[in-house]
Amino acid sequence: MESIGKLSTRVVEHLRDPLVKSAVRVKSSIMGEAGKFLRGKEFVELLPTIISPITDPLNHEVHNAKFRYYDQEYRLTQSMIFHKQLACKTFDRIFIVSPNVRLETSEKALSGRHLFEFSQIDLEIRNAKRDDVMTLVEDLITTLIVEVKSSCKEELELLSSNPSIPTTPFTKVKFMDAYEQYGKDFETVLSSSFKEPFWLIDFPIWEREFYDLLSQDGRTLKDMDLILPNGFGETLSGGEREWEYQRIISRMEFKGNDPEELAWYMEIAEAGELVPTAGCGIGVERLTRYICSLDNVARTRLFPKVPGRSWI
């Protein structure tokens, strides 16, 4: 185990690292511009839900982050998906800069893309379709890059980064087409060969959580990932959502989710109170890493939590 002395030296080195300082400044600009852009399109910003009895079950294994308070078990938010769906009963368009705690397993320590505390620019739109969200995000990402290039010239120079302004609309690649052509590591292969961000769409039903809307073909989902070029990989997941009780129940059975773990959400669904929505979450640290051409998302935060490595 690392001695406290060594750890504090590492913290101070990190806080003094000019690359970290520049990246955090760029991230601040990204968040400011994203807020301006979304408010300009009549999105209402919500404060994040940090703890709740219910949270995203996720599609991959993480350690449990839960605690008891009075007689209730709470979990730290892994994503705000269910609260976003419910918020769309109140507002047509919402967004949150949402902190997520995902206690990722330690083999993710070296990926350069994982933290166990990170943030999403999380948005959801009532009665929207996947295409609406993709068009909005293309506009948002392009605007962010243009704005950051003008407001953070010095920082980008110090980082030796010159992100190109993407051409819209972004290319769309179907999951199964890519899988058949390049095998199971297709995302890495395509991310390395593409020079522009692109969409990966139509994930097969077993690849994602129960809440991604199943298409009429009964096999693929109305969802998407945004993949960054030059090997930077995924920065966004989203899609249209399931909102009808019987469909949710059958998808939970398919995935092996326990409805008891989402008790009050399931009661709301059963009462027919969920509304159709579509949305997405953009990983702030991954987008910043791309715009700054950094090796590791840890450099995008002053106090990064790297799985299996960080104690700050």
Tell me 57's DSSP state.
-
310 binds ligand AMP (CB under 6 A): no
CA distance readout (Å), 232 to 14, 192, 252: 22, 8, 32
CB of 305 to ligand AMP, least distance (A): 9
* Amino acid at position 217, single letter: D
Helix ranges (H only) for the chain are 4-16, 18-40, 81-87, 130-151, 153-158, 175-182, 186-193, 245-255, 263-270, 284-291
98 binds ligand AMP (CB under 6 A): no
Please identify, using beta-carbon distances, which residue of 191 and 237 lies nearer to Mg ion: 237
Please identify, using beta-carbon distances, which residue of 237 and 310 lies nearer to Mg ion: 237
84 binds ligand AMP (CB under 6 A): no
229 binds ligand AMP (CB under 6 A): no
The site map against ligand AMP for 30-69 (x = CB under 6 A) is: ----------------------------------------
Number of residue whose CB is nearest ligand AMP: 283
Tokens of 151: 């407001």
Label residue 231 left, alpha or beta by phi (over 0 means left) and psi (-120 to 50 means alpha). Answer: left
Number of residue whose CB is nearest Mg ion: 237
235 binds Mg ion (CB under 5 A): no
Q: Among ligand AMP, Mg ion, none, what binds residue 173 when CB lies within 5 to 8 Å by partner kind? A: none
286 binds ligand AMP (CB under 6 A): yes
The site map against ligand AMP for 104-123 (x = CB under 6 A) is: x---------xx--x-x---
CB of 33 to ligand AMP, least distance (A): 18
220 binds Mg ion (CB under 5 A): no
Q: Find tokens 């009661």 and name the residue.
A: 267
Tokens of 189: 């292969």
CA distance readout (Å), 213 to 126, 236, 254, 302: 14, 17, 13, 37
User: Residue 122: how many CA atoms within 13 Å on its side-chain side?
Assistant: 23
Tokens of 203: 């994930």
Among 55, 120, 161, 237, binds Mg ion (CB under 5 A): 237
CB of 307 to ligand AMP, least distance (A): 7
Please identify, using beta-carbon distances, which residue of 203 and 265 lies nearer to ligand AMP: 203
Please identify, using beta-carbon distances, which residue of 29 and 235 lies nearer to ligand AMP: 235
Judge contact between 227 and 187, C-beta under 8 A. yes
Rounded to an integer, what distance in angstroms lies between the CA atom of residue 130 and that of residue 151? 31
Binding site for Mg ion (CB under 5 A): 237
Binding site for ligand AMP (CB under 6 A): 79, 102, 104, 114-115, 118, 120, 234-237, 281, 283, 285-286, 297
